[in-house]
Amino acid sequence: MPFVTVGQENSMPIELYYEDHGSGSPVVLIHGFPLSGRAWERQERALLAAGHRVITYDRRGFGKSSQPSTGYDYDTFAADLDKLVTALNLHGFDLAGHSMGGGEIARYLGTYGTSRVRRAAIVSGVPPYLLQTPETPHGVPQDVFDQIAAALTADRFAYFTEWNKNFFNLDQTLGSRISAEAVQDAWNTAVSASPAGTIACVATWHTDFRADLPKIDIPVLVLHGTEDRILPIEACGARTHELIPGSEYVPIEGASHGLCWTHADAVNAELVRFFK
């Protein structure tokens, strides 16, 4: 299987699993929490059909990548991405990041610049700053993050059953936009991730990306579901658009946080158009 080594923990290398399919203009897809590169299944098909080379990878701690006990912060995530694209010798490629993956895009471009990247899409992303403060009244209070971390610590298996209800808005979408089997697969992926990494990632959700976003000088598409119950559109999508000069903002009407599955047709159409 294809891996890129991004570090070392004691006697073990830290490796990222990736898949690389198709030909043409390359697109790198960065998944959200608590999933893996497989979460892009529906987008990968559409982008391959549109003539792109599509590269997915699993964030450290998730999917088939290594599960170290350290490195769950956005400086490290961005460094991991840089090592991947450098190893694959990618230039002129596009980036799309969902949820936490939007944070990778912000920190990667803010730290490493845009010389390699052609365009980027942030899909229901975590930037710019999710923590509720007087400056960010639409954000999420600190005690909510504390409660999530505590619930994951107590019983992450039970927690992810509840998580999926709001991730996919199952009261509205189950049986129409998503099957019980697809929800089960998302649960399987979530509970297969690193226990330590799963809990550690919660604190990264209120990373401050407000200094990264204004540095981005390539075309950026910001997509966000209007019914996102995980990352509120007022705190994330709209504010990200405001901070990235010249970005394009497309709210996906009625879409959940898991819009890459529940509203795949709308997401696919926007990505194919933007990356054409």
* DSSP state letter for 178: B
CA–CA separation, 206 and 204 (whole Å): 5
Using N-to-C axis directions, what is the helix angle for 264-274 and 41-49, rounded to 10°? 40
- Count of residues for the chain? 276
Alpha helices in the chain (DSSP H): 41-49, 74-87, 100-112, 142-167, 170-173, 180-192, 195-204, 237-243, 259-262, 264-274
Residues 6 or more apart whose Cβ sits within 8 Å of residue 95: 27, 28, 30, 105, 108, 117, 119, 120, 121
Say how far apart CA 223 and CA 210 lie, in whole Å.
18
DSSP 58: P
Task: Spell out the SS3 assignment of 42-56.
Answer: HHHHHHHHCCCEEEE
Closest CA to 37 of 56, 10, 16: 56
Which backbone phi and psi does 209 adopt, to 5 degrees?
Answer: -105, 10
Taking the C-alpha atoms of residue 94 and residue 120, their distance in angstroms, rounded to an integer, is 6
Question: Which residue numbers are catalytic?
Answer: 99, 228, 257
Determine the distance from the C-alpha atom of residue 170 to the mean position of all C-alpha atoms in its chain, rounded to a whole number: 20
| 186: nearest Cα among 16, 32, 18 | 32
